[in-house]
């Protein structure tokens, strides 16, 4: 088939371009060499694509296994998560209650602080009066001594 199609191509080449093209055994050797070269390149290309496919497939399988493992771990941790959520809700309610109690105590302490500040101001005024009177009485005491 190659020989016949090449011979017909040579006749057509001669008719159209008016140039002779000779079909020789060297031509067939070159054809075989070219075929081997192209076959080698295509095999390498196909092997590269095959390796790429295999690597991608193995990565997908590994990822699927990891996802399954993580899914199982998530399912195992789900009850603990629910329990922790309940504990958090309970602690949150306790903290809210303590915050309300602390606010009540803060109001009482603020009132007590106001009373204490007023008492301290009165005591300080009395102290200043006493010191003033003492300052007046000290020279008299020293003179009497």
Task: Provide CB contacts within 8 A for 106, sequence distance 6+.
Answer: none
Range of 3-12, 34-43, 133-142 with top mean pLDDT:
34-43
Helix (H, G, I), strand (E, B) or coil at 18: coil
Q: Which of residues 38 and 23 earns the better pLDDT score?
A: 38
Q: How far apart are CA 11 and CA 79, in angstroms?
A: 85
* From 26-30, 60-64, 88-92, 102-106, the region with the lowest mean pLDDT: 26-30
Task: List C-alpha distances in Å: 2 to 9, 17, 54, 87.
Answer: 10, 22, 37, 85
Q: How far apart are CA 82 and CA 91, in angstroms?
A: 14
End-to-end CA distance of the chain: 151
Range of the domain at 13: 2-144
Question: 138: pLDDT confidence band, cut at 50, 70 and 90?
Answer: confident
Helix (H, G, I), strand (E, B) or coil at 23: coil
| CB distance 5 to 31 below 8 Å | no
Predicted pLDDT of residue 39: 97
Predicted pLDDT of residue 10: 86
Predicted pLDDT of residue 47: 97
Mean pLDDT of 37-64: 96
Mean pLDDT of 13-41: 88
Q: Which residue has the tokens 């075989």?
A: 32
Task: List C-alpha distances in Å: 67 to 64, 79, 99.
Answer: 5, 20, 44
Total domains in the chain come to: 1
pLDDT in tens, 3-26: 788 888 889 989 998 888 777 888
Q: How far apart are CA 60 and CA 50, in angstroms?
A: 15
């Amino acid at each position: 088939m190659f020989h016949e199609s090449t011979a017909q191509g040579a006749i057509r080449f001669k008719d159209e371009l008016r140039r002779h093209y000779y079909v020789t055994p060297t031509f067939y050797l070159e054809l075989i060499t070219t075929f081997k070269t192209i076959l080698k390149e295509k095999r390498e290309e196909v092997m590269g694509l095959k390796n790429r496919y295999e690597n991608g497939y193995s990565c997908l399988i590994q990822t699927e296994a990891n996802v399954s493992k993580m899914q199982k771990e998530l399912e195992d941790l789900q009850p603990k998560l629910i329990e922790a959520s309940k504990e958090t809700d309970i602690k949150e309610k306790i903290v809210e209650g303590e915050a309300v109690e602390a606010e009540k105590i803060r109001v009482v302490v603020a009132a007590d602080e106001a009373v204490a500040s007023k008492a301290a101001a009165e005591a300080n005024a009395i102290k200043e009066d006493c010191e003033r009177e003492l300052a007046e009485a000290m020279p008299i005491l020293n003179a009497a001594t």
